[in-house]
Structure 1
Amino acid sequence: MSQLYPLKFNPILKDKIWGGQKLKTLLNKQSNLPNIGESWEISDVEGDTSIVSNGSLAGQSLKELLETYKGDLIGEKNYKVFENKFPLLIKFIDAKQDLSIQLHPNDELAAERHNSFGKTEMWYVFQADEDSNLIVGFNQDMTAEKYLEHLENKTLTKILNFDKVQTGDTYFIEVGRVHAIGAGVMVAEIQQTSDITYRVYDWDRVDDQGNERELHNDLAIDAIDFDMPDNFRVTYDKTENTSNEMVSCPYFTTSYLKVTEPLKKENKEDSFLIYMCVEGDAEISANGVTESIKKGETLLLPAAIKNFEIKAKDATLLEVYV
């Protein structure tokens, strides 16, 4: 069995009705798709499994790596829970237009209805046009009755909370919370491995054939949590050269790491580490292998690697583990 090292994967690019070209122009993703909405950086979603792009394991899928390396790849405790299923889906998203108003079901509903995990997620805004918004939650106390009335009357946007955003703003999107990424915003998204989304309103948008996208209001009404507090904005420290925890939940922990000098790091978690580069560029070295990572790139450090080094003059990384 060959030795594990810092792994990179080929991005899986998704054409979306609301997508743009920033993933290509700003993040150098190679594609001829007209509206690139998402770059799936690390994925084990059925039919969209990531393929290693670097080193001796190049060409192998994430699924094959899991079957071969098990706990050495994702951590022993993670392997006991998830077995040959990678627990996170890591993306960069470019919204040229507003995404649909949507929400995600919890683990219980997702398992029962879709044989899937739920979809708890977080967003880190790493580019936002002037005056662009995220929609998160409601702007007033909400009941199912009041919500349905607005849905019926096509006045849903009157009760939604619009937040103006800028680089560095971070949001924790729990299952059951109504949300949407607004036009002009690019985010790094960290989420459970799930592609289950309930669309409730799509701005009456139609595709080239004049068709509206499917809505899931029958499924959504049971999945919305109307009593959720407005605790979705994340505050965090930005101390340089140290991991500043942003979000910690049962599904993932994400920290903000600004690197301005060489850092010797130790992975004390029984987990893989993921580094998403959201600004600048860095080098990560482990087991005699040095891999560069620049803005818009993602790297997976297998759990078996306990000591490694990060070198950068000025890079901002999101550090993720389970």
Structure 2
Amino acid sequence: MSELLFMEPCFKTMIWGGHKMREKYGYSIPSEETGEAWAISGHQNGKSTVKGGTYDGWNLDDLWKQHGELFGHPAETSFPLLVKVIDANNDLSIQVHPDDAYAAVHENGSKGKTECWYVLDCEKGADIIVGHHARTREELVQMIDEGKWDQLLNCFPIHKGDFFYIPSGTVHAIRKGTLILEVQQSSDVTYRLYDYGRLQNGKPRELHLDKSKDVITCPHSGVSTTGAWDDRKDYRVRQLVKSQYFTVEQWKVGTALDLEQKYDFLLVDVTEGSGMADGIPVKAGDHFIVPYQYGTMHVEGNLEIITSHL
């Protein structure tokens, strides 16, 4: 029988980062400005590694390339998804991501970036930016050029447990006081539209205004993707999003759950509580992969998990 692949995150120090991941999950973070944990990642800019078991110490990129049998013998050359935990101790820049077609031409063949956010926790009064109010591309460009950010950007309050689907082309920003689980295409291409005039090492961070104007979807059309809860005897489940890039579901386990692994691979992120997964202790902040043809995973305890697959 194959085994669960528990992952050790790759951490990123960011100008807007904090230390909530140490306090909430006990992570050994590298600094008091730790903004991101690339929890399940084979991306060249931050590879997570297997901890324990047969493949202890392997990074996910090498495992994908050398042990394709664990992932259904994939055709893709690199692991296609990336899961992050993001600690926004300050506002992130206003940004947008390109789609696959634009990134392939303008970013040396990179993938584009569609992502989604689950709010793990947030301070009272926290808000977020998703989308804009421009009705035409001409109006969009004019408002960007004139710096009319308050008029342009769609900002609204958030609460723990909220979910947002952010397709490529969507203007967005995670804001101060927010802890988020992000599932995305494995891409590190970000176009920065506005950064509040902040300095890093004495210089403003680079903006990408022309590329941003190229890729922003206009007018913005937000959609709610979250389905209703399906209540079962021992657990409840809801679909957060089903798209061409990934399907993400949330499970609240009251006592037990038998979760059938029907996909090439299944990513599991424990977001609350603790319990056991096939006899292995798991707790909030754990991230693991259920490999190809694993069968059914038996989960016990009082915990919440988010699963992702292609």
Q: Say if 1:10 and 1:52, in contact at 8 Å, map to a contact too.
A: yes
Structure 2 CA distance for partners of 1:186 and 1:146, relative to 1, 3 Å: same
Match of residue 25, structure 2, among 14, 24, 27: 27
Partner Cα separation in structure 1 for residue 96 and residue 224 of structure 2: 14
Aligned to 1:175: 168
Q: Does the alignment pair 1:249 with 2:243?
A: yes
SS of equivalent residue, structure 1 residue 56 = coil
The answer for the alignment partner of 2:309 in structure 1 is: 321
TM-aligned CA deviation for residue 307 of structure 1: 1.8
Question: Which residue of 1 is the match for residue 293 of structure 2?
Answer: 304
Please report how far the alpha carbon of residue 46 of structure 1 lies from its aligned counterpart in structure 2 after TM superposition: 1.2
The CA distance in 2 between the partners of 1:231 and 1:250, in whole Å, is 15
Asked whether the 8 Å contact 2:11–2:38 carries over to 1, the reply is yes
| Structure 1 segments (4+ residues) deviating >4 Å | none
Cα contact 1:293–1:299 (8 A) shared by 2: no
- The match for 1:146 is 139
Query: How many residue pairs were aligned?
Result: 307
Higher strand share: 2
1:188-203 to 2 correspondences below 5 Å = 188-203=181-196
Q: Secondary structure at the match of 1:58?
A: coil
When normalised by structure 2's length, the TM-score is 0.94
* Gapped regions of structure 1 (runs ≥ 5): none
Match of 2:229 in 1: 237
Kept in 1: contact 2:169–2:215 (CA 8 A): yes
Percent of pairs identical after alignment?
Answer: 32
Indicate the residue corresponding to 2:220 in structure 1.
Answer: 228
* C-alpha contact (below 8 Å) 2:229/2:236 kept by paired residues: no
* Distance in 1 separating the partners of 2:101 and 2:53: 39
SS at match of 1:266: strand
Which amino acid in structure 1 is aligned with residue 124 of structure 2?
A: E
Q: Distance in 2 between matches of 1:233 and 1:167?
A: 17
The CA RMSD over aligned residues, in Å, is 1.6
TM-aligned CA deviation for residue 224 of structure 1: 0.7
Q: Does 1:73 align with 2:67?
A: no
Which residue of structure 2 aligns with residue 186 of structure 1?
179
The 1-side partners of 2:249 and 2:181 are apart by 13
Contact 1:9 1:50 in 2 (8 A): yes
**Residues 1:210 and 2:198 aligned together:** no
* TM-score normalized with structure 1 length: 0.91
Match of 2:41 in 1: 43
> What per-residue deviation string (whole Å, max 9, x for no partner) do you get for residues 60-102 of structure 1?
12122223321x32224xx13x1x4111000000101110000
CA distance 1:236–1:117, change in 2 (3 Å):
farther
Aligned to 1:16: 14
Q: Which moved more, 1:126-135 or 1:19-28?
A: 19-28
